[in-house]
Structure 1
Protein backbone atom coordinates (compact mmCIF):
# COMPACT_ATOMS: atom_id res chain seq x y z
CA UNK A 1 0.00 0.00 0.00
CA UNK A 2 2.82 2.15 0.64
CA UNK A 3 3.96 1.87 -2.95
CA UNK A 4 0.51 2.67 -4.10
CA UNK A 5 0.38 5.79 -1.85
CA UNK A 6 3.78 6.91 -3.10
CA UNK A 7 2.66 6.58 -6.68
CA UNK A 8 -0.54 8.37 -5.90
CA UNK A 9 1.44 11.23 -4.29
CA UNK A 10 3.69 11.52 -7.33
CA UNK A 11 0.73 11.60 -9.71
CA UNK A 12 -1.13 14.20 -7.64
CA UNK A 13 2.01 16.34 -7.37
CA UNK A 14 2.54 16.06 -11.15
CA UNK A 15 -1.04 17.06 -11.85
CA UNK A 16 -0.76 20.02 -9.51
CA UNK A 17 2.48 21.17 -11.14
CA UNK A 18 1.09 20.86 -14.68
CA UNK A 19 -2.25 22.41 -13.70
CA UNK A 20 -0.57 25.43 -12.16
CA UNK A 21 1.83 26.05 -14.98
CA UNK A 22 0.91 29.15 -16.97
CA UNK A 23 1.34 29.21 -20.64
CA UNK A 24 3.69 31.91 -21.91
CA UNK A 25 1.94 34.79 -23.62
CA UNK A 26 2.48 34.94 -27.34
CA UNK A 27 4.97 37.61 -28.28
CA UNK A 28 3.11 40.47 -29.95
CA UNK A 29 4.95 42.05 -32.78
CA UNK A 30 5.17 45.80 -32.65
CA UNK A 31 2.96 47.39 -35.30
CA UNK A 32 4.78 48.78 -38.27
CA UNK A 33 5.39 52.49 -37.83
CA UNK A 34 2.88 54.59 -39.70
CA UNK A 35 4.55 57.19 -41.83
CA UNK A 36 2.81 60.49 -41.31
CA UNK A 37 3.47 62.87 -44.17
CA UNK A 38 5.22 66.04 -43.16
CA UNK A 39 2.99 69.09 -43.14
CA UNK A 40 3.38 71.24 -46.24
CA UNK A 41 5.66 74.25 -46.07
CA UNK A 42 4.01 76.07 -48.97
CA UNK A 43 0.59 76.18 -50.52
CA UNK A 44 0.26 74.65 -53.96
CA UNK A 45 -1.25 77.17 -56.33
CA UNK A 46 -0.28 80.37 -54.52
CA UNK A 47 0.69 83.20 -56.83
CA UNK A 48 1.72 86.84 -57.13
CA UNK A 49 -0.25 89.42 -59.08
CA UNK A 50 0.82 92.95 -59.97
CA UNK A 51 -2.09 94.78 -58.38
CA UNK A 52 -3.02 96.74 -55.28
CA UNK A 53 -3.87 94.64 -52.23
CA UNK A 54 -7.26 96.30 -51.66
CA UNK A 55 -8.30 95.88 -55.28
CA UNK A 56 -7.12 92.27 -55.20
CA UNK A 57 -8.97 91.59 -51.94
CA UNK A 58 -12.21 93.03 -53.36
CA UNK A 59 -11.83 91.11 -56.63
CA UNK A 60 -11.16 87.83 -54.77
CA UNK A 61 -14.36 88.44 -52.79
CA UNK A 62 -16.39 88.99 -55.95
CA UNK A 63 -15.03 85.82 -57.50
CA UNK A 64 -15.52 83.73 -54.35
CA UNK A 65 -19.17 84.67 -53.88
CA UNK A 66 -19.95 84.18 -57.57
CA UNK A 67 -18.18 80.84 -58.11
CA UNK A 68 -20.44 77.78 -58.01
CA UNK A 69 -19.36 75.26 -55.39
CA UNK A 70 -17.55 77.79 -53.20
CA UNK A 71 -19.22 78.40 -49.85
CA UNK A 72 -18.39 81.87 -48.55
CA UNK A 73 -18.22 81.66 -44.75
CA UNK A 74 -16.76 85.02 -43.72
CA UNK A 75 -14.19 87.72 -44.33
CA UNK A 76 -11.90 90.19 -42.62
CA UNK A 77 -10.45 93.04 -44.60
CA UNK A 78 -8.24 93.96 -41.66
CA UNK A 79 -6.63 90.50 -41.88
CA UNK A 80 -6.84 90.39 -45.71
CA UNK A 81 -8.69 87.08 -45.71
CA UNK A 82 -11.79 85.18 -46.73
CA UNK A 83 -12.96 82.00 -45.03
CA UNK A 84 -14.30 79.58 -47.63
CA UNK A 85 -15.30 75.96 -48.02
CA UNK A 86 -14.67 74.32 -51.36
CA UNK A 87 -15.24 70.65 -52.10
CA UNK A 88 -15.75 70.04 -48.39
CA UNK A 89 -12.42 71.60 -47.37
CA UNK A 90 -12.43 74.72 -45.20
CA UNK A 91 -9.54 77.14 -45.68
CA UNK A 92 -8.60 80.79 -45.73
CA UNK A 93 -7.80 82.73 -48.90
CA UNK A 94 -5.30 85.49 -48.08
CA UNK A 95 -4.20 88.58 -50.01
CA UNK A 96 -0.95 90.06 -48.69
CA UNK A 97 0.86 93.10 -50.08
CA UNK A 98 4.48 92.41 -51.01
CA UNK A 99 7.21 94.87 -50.11
CA UNK A 100 8.87 96.63 -52.99
CA UNK A 101 12.40 95.32 -53.48
CA UNK A 102 15.07 94.63 -56.07
CA UNK A 103 12.88 91.89 -57.54
CA UNK A 104 9.46 93.43 -56.87
CA UNK A 105 9.32 96.92 -58.39
CA UNK A 106 5.54 97.32 -58.85
CA UNK A 107 2.70 97.06 -56.36
CA UNK A 108 2.25 93.32 -56.00
CA UNK A 109 -0.04 91.09 -53.94
CA UNK A 110 0.47 87.44 -52.93
CA UNK A 111 -2.69 85.33 -53.05
CA UNK A 112 -2.41 82.15 -51.02
CA UNK A 113 -4.42 79.77 -48.84
CA UNK A 114 -3.93 78.38 -45.34
CA UNK A 115 -5.72 76.12 -42.92
CA UNK A 116 -8.04 77.89 -40.47
CA UNK A 117 -5.13 77.64 -37.99
CA UNK A 118 -2.85 79.55 -40.36
CA UNK A 119 -0.68 76.63 -41.53
CA UNK A 120 0.08 76.14 -45.23
CA UNK A 121 -2.49 73.92 -46.94
CA UNK A 122 -1.88 71.59 -49.84
CA UNK A 123 -5.19 70.09 -50.92
CA UNK A 124 -6.56 69.68 -54.41
CA UNK A 125 -9.52 71.88 -53.47
CA UNK A 126 -7.39 74.83 -52.34
CA UNK A 127 -4.97 74.46 -55.26
CA UNK A 128 -7.82 74.31 -57.80
CA UNK A 129 -9.51 77.40 -56.34
CA UNK A 130 -6.23 79.33 -56.39
CA UNK A 131 -5.62 78.36 -60.03
CA UNK A 132 -9.11 79.59 -60.92
CA UNK A 133 -8.49 82.86 -59.05
CA UNK A 134 -5.17 83.36 -60.82
CA UNK A 135 -6.91 83.02 -64.19
CA UNK A 136 -9.87 85.27 -63.42
CA UNK A 137 -8.32 87.94 -61.18
CA UNK A 138 -6.87 90.25 -63.86
CA UNK A 139 -10.33 90.94 -65.33
CA UNK A 140 -11.99 91.02 -61.90
CA UNK A 141 -9.45 93.63 -60.75
CA UNK A 142 -10.24 95.79 -63.81
CA UNK A 143 -13.93 95.52 -62.91
CA UNK A 144 -13.21 96.57 -59.32
CA UNK A 145 -11.10 99.52 -60.51
CA UNK A 146 -13.91 100.64 -62.82
CA UNK A 147 -16.45 100.37 -59.99
CA UNK A 148 -14.19 102.35 -57.62
CA UNK A 149 -13.68 105.04 -60.29
CA UNK A 150 -17.44 105.29 -60.93
CA UNK A 151 -18.14 105.55 -57.18
CA UNK A 152 -15.47 108.25 -56.78
CA UNK A 153 -16.90 110.21 -59.73
CA UNK A 154 -20.45 109.93 -58.38
CA UNK A 155 -19.26 111.13 -54.96
CA UNK A 156 -17.38 114.07 -56.52
CA UNK A 157 -20.41 114.99 -58.64
CA UNK A 158 -22.68 114.86 -55.59
CA UNK A 159 -20.29 117.05 -53.63
CA UNK A 160 -20.05 119.53 -56.53
CA UNK A 161 -23.85 119.61 -56.86
CA UNK A 162 -24.23 120.15 -53.11
CA UNK A 163 -21.79 123.10 -53.19
CA UNK A 164 -23.57 124.72 -56.16
CA UNK A 165 -26.94 124.43 -54.37
CA UNK A 166 -25.58 126.10 -51.26
CA UNK A 167 -24.08 128.94 -53.36
CA UNK A 168 -27.38 129.53 -55.17
CA UNK A 169 -29.24 129.66 -51.84
CA UNK A 170 -26.80 132.29 -50.54
CA UNK A 171 -27.27 134.39 -53.71
CA UNK A 172 -31.09 134.25 -53.37
CA UNK A 173 -30.89 135.48 -49.75
CA UNK A 174 -29.00 138.61 -50.73
Structure 2
Protein backbone atom coordinates (compact mmCIF):
# COMPACT_ATOMS: atom_id res chain seq x y z
CA UNK A 1 0.00 0.00 0.00
CA UNK A 2 1.30 3.46 -0.91
CA UNK A 3 1.77 6.10 1.74
CA UNK A 4 -0.70 8.92 0.91
CA UNK A 5 1.58 11.42 2.67
CA UNK A 6 4.68 10.48 0.67
CA UNK A 7 4.12 13.54 -1.54
CA UNK A 8 4.69 15.70 1.55
CA UNK A 9 8.18 14.30 2.25
CA UNK A 10 11.35 16.31 1.87
CA UNK A 11 13.66 15.15 -0.90
CA UNK A 12 16.27 13.78 1.52
CA UNK A 13 13.48 11.77 3.18
CA UNK A 14 12.16 10.07 0.05
CA UNK A 15 9.86 12.77 -1.35
CA UNK A 16 10.11 15.61 -3.80
CA UNK A 17 9.81 18.65 -1.52
CA UNK A 18 12.90 20.88 -1.63
CA UNK A 19 11.33 24.14 -0.40
CA UNK A 20 8.83 25.02 2.32
CA UNK A 21 7.07 28.37 2.39
CA UNK A 22 5.33 29.49 5.55
CA UNK A 23 2.61 32.02 6.27
CA UNK A 24 3.24 34.41 9.15
CA UNK A 25 0.07 35.42 11.01
CA UNK A 26 -1.47 32.46 12.78
CA UNK A 27 1.19 30.10 11.47
CA UNK A 28 4.39 31.44 13.00
CA UNK A 29 2.47 33.52 15.55
CA UNK A 30 -0.25 32.92 18.09
CA UNK A 31 -3.45 34.89 18.41
CA UNK A 32 -3.02 34.50 22.16
CA UNK A 33 0.23 36.49 22.25
CA UNK A 34 0.20 40.23 22.72
CA UNK A 35 1.31 42.43 19.85
CA UNK A 36 4.94 43.45 20.31
CA UNK A 37 4.88 47.23 19.92
CA UNK A 38 8.57 47.41 19.01
CA UNK A 39 7.98 44.95 16.16
CA UNK A 40 4.56 46.28 15.23
CA UNK A 41 3.17 42.73 15.14
CA UNK A 42 2.88 39.55 17.17
CA UNK A 43 6.22 37.78 17.65
CA UNK A 44 7.22 34.38 16.30
CA UNK A 45 6.31 31.76 18.91
CA UNK A 46 8.91 29.54 20.56
CA UNK A 47 7.14 26.53 19.03
CA UNK A 48 7.48 28.06 15.54
CA UNK A 49 11.15 28.92 16.17
CA UNK A 50 11.86 25.27 16.96
CA UNK A 51 9.87 24.11 13.93
CA UNK A 52 11.91 26.45 11.70
CA UNK A 53 15.18 24.95 12.94
CA UNK A 54 13.78 21.42 12.60
CA UNK A 55 12.67 22.18 9.02
CA UNK A 56 16.14 23.48 8.27
CA UNK A 57 17.57 20.20 9.63
CA UNK A 58 15.12 18.26 7.45
CA UNK A 59 17.02 19.64 4.46
CA UNK A 60 14.49 22.03 2.95
CA UNK A 61 14.96 25.65 1.91
CA UNK A 62 12.63 27.98 3.78
CA UNK A 63 10.66 30.97 2.53
CA UNK A 64 8.03 33.27 4.03
CA UNK A 65 4.94 34.35 2.06
CA UNK A 66 2.82 36.86 3.94
CA UNK A 67 0.12 39.41 3.28
CA UNK A 68 1.27 42.67 4.84
CA UNK A 69 0.35 46.31 5.19
CA UNK A 70 2.81 49.05 4.17
CA UNK A 71 5.65 49.23 6.69
CA UNK A 72 4.82 45.83 8.19
CA UNK A 73 8.16 44.13 7.65
CA UNK A 74 8.07 40.52 8.85
CA UNK A 75 11.87 40.40 8.59
CA UNK A 76 12.08 42.30 11.90
CA UNK A 77 10.12 39.57 13.67
CA UNK A 78 12.22 36.83 12.08
CA UNK A 79 15.36 38.67 13.18
CA UNK A 80 14.01 39.17 16.72
CA UNK A 81 13.36 35.40 16.91
CA UNK A 82 16.87 34.77 15.51
CA UNK A 83 15.51 32.66 12.66
CA UNK A 84 16.07 35.18 9.86
CA UNK A 85 19.15 33.31 8.65
CA UNK A 86 17.00 30.27 7.85
CA UNK A 87 14.99 32.40 5.39
CA UNK A 88 17.74 34.51 3.83
CA UNK A 89 16.31 36.74 1.13
CA UNK A 90 13.34 34.43 0.56
CA UNK A 91 10.79 36.70 2.27
CA UNK A 92 7.81 37.60 0.08
CA UNK A 93 5.67 40.40 1.49
CA UNK A 94 2.51 41.41 -0.35
CA UNK A 95 2.95 45.16 0.10
CA UNK A 96 6.44 44.98 -1.42
CA UNK A 97 5.36 42.75 -4.31
CA UNK A 98 2.10 44.49 -5.06
CA UNK A 99 0.51 41.03 -5.00
CA UNK A 100 -1.43 39.43 -2.17
CA UNK A 101 -2.77 35.99 -1.39
CA UNK A 102 -5.06 34.57 -2.72
CA UNK A 103 -3.96 36.05 -6.10
CA UNK A 104 -2.34 33.23 -8.08
CA UNK A 105 0.32 35.62 -9.37
CA UNK A 106 2.02 35.67 -5.95
CA UNK A 107 2.59 31.92 -6.28
CA UNK A 108 3.88 32.28 -9.82
CA UNK A 109 6.33 34.93 -8.56
CA UNK A 110 7.48 32.78 -5.62
CA UNK A 111 7.97 29.69 -7.80
CA UNK A 112 9.94 31.67 -10.39
CA UNK A 113 12.08 33.41 -7.78
CA UNK A 114 12.85 30.16 -5.96
CA UNK A 115 13.47 28.46 -9.31
CA UNK A 116 11.32 25.45 -8.41
CA UNK A 117 8.35 23.67 -9.93
CA UNK A 118 5.13 23.45 -7.88
CA UNK A 119 5.78 19.83 -6.87
CA UNK A 120 8.97 20.90 -5.08
CA UNK A 121 7.22 23.48 -2.89
CA UNK A 122 5.11 22.91 0.19
CA UNK A 123 3.16 25.80 1.71
CA UNK A 124 1.87 25.88 5.29
CA UNK A 125 -0.76 28.38 6.37
CA UNK A 126 -3.77 28.65 8.62
CA UNK A 127 -6.41 30.07 6.27
CA UNK A 128 -8.22 27.74 3.89
CA UNK A 129 -9.38 30.50 1.52
CA UNK A 130 -6.20 32.59 1.39
CA UNK A 131 -3.52 29.95 1.94
CA UNK A 132 -4.59 26.41 1.15
CA UNK A 133 -6.91 26.55 -1.87
CA UNK A 134 -4.84 29.12 -3.81
CA UNK A 135 -1.59 27.21 -3.27
CA UNK A 136 -3.18 23.86 -4.14
CA UNK A 137 -4.68 25.42 -7.28
CA UNK A 138 -1.09 25.98 -8.44
CA UNK A 139 -0.23 22.31 -7.71
CA UNK A 140 1.74 23.33 -4.62
CA UNK A 141 1.44 20.89 -1.71
CA UNK A 142 -0.51 22.71 1.00
CA UNK A 143 -0.67 22.06 4.73
CA UNK A 144 -3.43 23.63 6.77
CA UNK A 145 -2.41 24.47 10.30
CA UNK A 146 -5.47 24.19 12.50
CA UNK A 147 -7.20 22.20 15.18
CA UNK A 148 -10.63 21.98 13.60
CA UNK A 149 -10.98 20.05 10.37
CA UNK A 150 -12.33 22.20 7.54
CA UNK A 151 -15.34 21.14 5.51
CA UNK A 152 -12.96 19.88 2.88
CA UNK A 153 -9.43 20.25 1.64
CA UNK A 154 -8.41 20.37 -2.00
CA UNK A 155 -6.37 17.56 -3.56
CA UNK A 156 -2.71 17.97 -2.64
CA UNK A 157 -3.52 19.33 0.82
CA UNK A 158 -3.49 17.92 4.33
CA UNK A 159 -3.89 19.25 7.87
CA UNK A 160 -1.76 19.37 11.00
CA UNK A 161 -2.83 20.62 14.42
CA UNK A 162 0.45 22.27 15.42
CA UNK A 163 3.40 23.86 13.63
CA UNK A 164 5.73 21.50 15.45
CA UNK A 165 4.21 18.62 13.45
CA UNK A 166 5.37 20.07 10.12
CA UNK A 167 8.99 18.86 10.30
CA UNK A 168 7.76 15.35 11.08
CA UNK A 169 5.41 15.43 8.10
CA UNK A 170 8.42 16.21 5.90
CA UNK A 171 10.61 13.50 7.43
CA UNK A 172 7.89 10.85 7.63
CA UNK A 173 7.87 10.64 11.42
CA UNK A 174 4.52 12.48 11.77
CA UNK A 175 1.13 11.84 10.26
CA UNK A 176 -1.44 14.41 9.25
CA UNK A 177 -5.08 14.70 10.20
CA UNK A 178 -8.02 14.08 7.90
Interval containing the TM-score (normalised by the shorter chain): under 0.3
Flag the structure with larger Rg.
1
